Amino acid sequence: MSAVIGGIVTGLPHPLLVPEQNAGWQRVRQGFERLRESIAAQKPDVLVLYSTMWPSIIGHQIQADPNPEWVHVDELFHDLGSIPYRFRMDSELAGTLRDACEARGLKARTVSYHGFPIDTGSVVALKLLNPDNAIPAVILSSNVYADRAETVVLGKATRDALEASGKRAATFAVMSLSNRLFTDWIDPADDHVHSPKDDEWNRKILELLEDGRLEDTAQLSRTIQQQIRVRKVVAFKSLWWLSAVMGQHNRYAGEVLAYEPIMGTGGAVVGLTPLQGDRGDREFDEDDVEVFRGNREVLQS
């Protein structure tokens, strides 16, 4: 098993920089801290991030600088202040991942030069999940034009690279659920999810993930994109990648560690741990059965 733990984390900077300004942001910060403990308990060799806040246009980029160091200021919330960072990357695995991507027909390249602009989401995730750089990391970009097939293949290539390296991984998608930001200034104390519809969908997604139903949730990605997402990219693709790298099934122990509004968006911290036993598969897309061994527990709608 390559991915020993995974999940989703919000990438907005408020829980890192100003958690004291809103009780919900503080709870998200605490959710990160609890997730950090869960990650440490699994003793992974590497932390792999797929960041929706690092857009790429041509192919897929992989951070390979062994020790990127800079001072980051978020392009939207620059008033919150600066984030100095120095990270530890697994350059060898980054190269293996690039090769695995190309072997599966993807365009990919590593990036490694001083001053490369690591995105806010990756900076926030690494600062809160891996503050002492105890675990080397790999960061993947999110291609804005990649749809399901390409994103699933990227996840499978990530899994290939992990299996080839023999490393145990913590794999996380850096993302928001609903992504509608407020366009006017609000008092932090008045923060709320942009609309009741967004909030209802967010809670349903989290209900599924808490039940360990990663693949079922991934199958809803196009509907989620249509219902609660501003169309910045072609699809709500994070769960396609996460499911492909962790395993396209529903046999997970899910834990929702935090869910709060962050400037109108749905900010969540969720952990998923693979289970060895059989919980009853519940995918929308049933197997192509060759030998009948009894009915499966499959969603009817």
200-to-9, 151, 266, 272, 300 alpha-carbon distances in Å: 19, 26, 10, 21, 21
The pTM (predicted TM-score) of the whole model is 0.92
Q: pLDDT value at position 160?
A: 98
Q: pLDDT value at position 292?
A: 41
Cα separation, 27 vs 257, whole angstroms: 9
* Domain range list for the chain: 3-274
Torsions phi, psi of 173, nearest 5?
-95, 125
Question: What radius of gyration do the chain's Cα atoms show?
Answer: 18
What does each of the 301 residues of the chain score in pLDDT, given as a tens digit? 699 999 999 999 999 999 999 999 999 999 999 999 999 999 999 999 999 999 999 999 999 999 999 999 999 999 999 999 999 999 999 999 999 999 999 999 999 999 999 999 999 999 999 999 999 999 999 999 999 999 999 999 999 999 999 999 999 999 999 999 999 999 999 999 999 999 999 999 999 999 999 999 999 999 999 999 887 776 789 999 999 999 999 999 999 999 999 999 999 999 999 998 665 555 544 454 454 455 555 544 4
Q: pLDDT value at position 230?
A: 85
204-to-159, 211, 218, 259 alpha-carbon distances in Å: 28, 11, 13, 12
Is 3-274 a CATH 3.30.70.580 domain? no
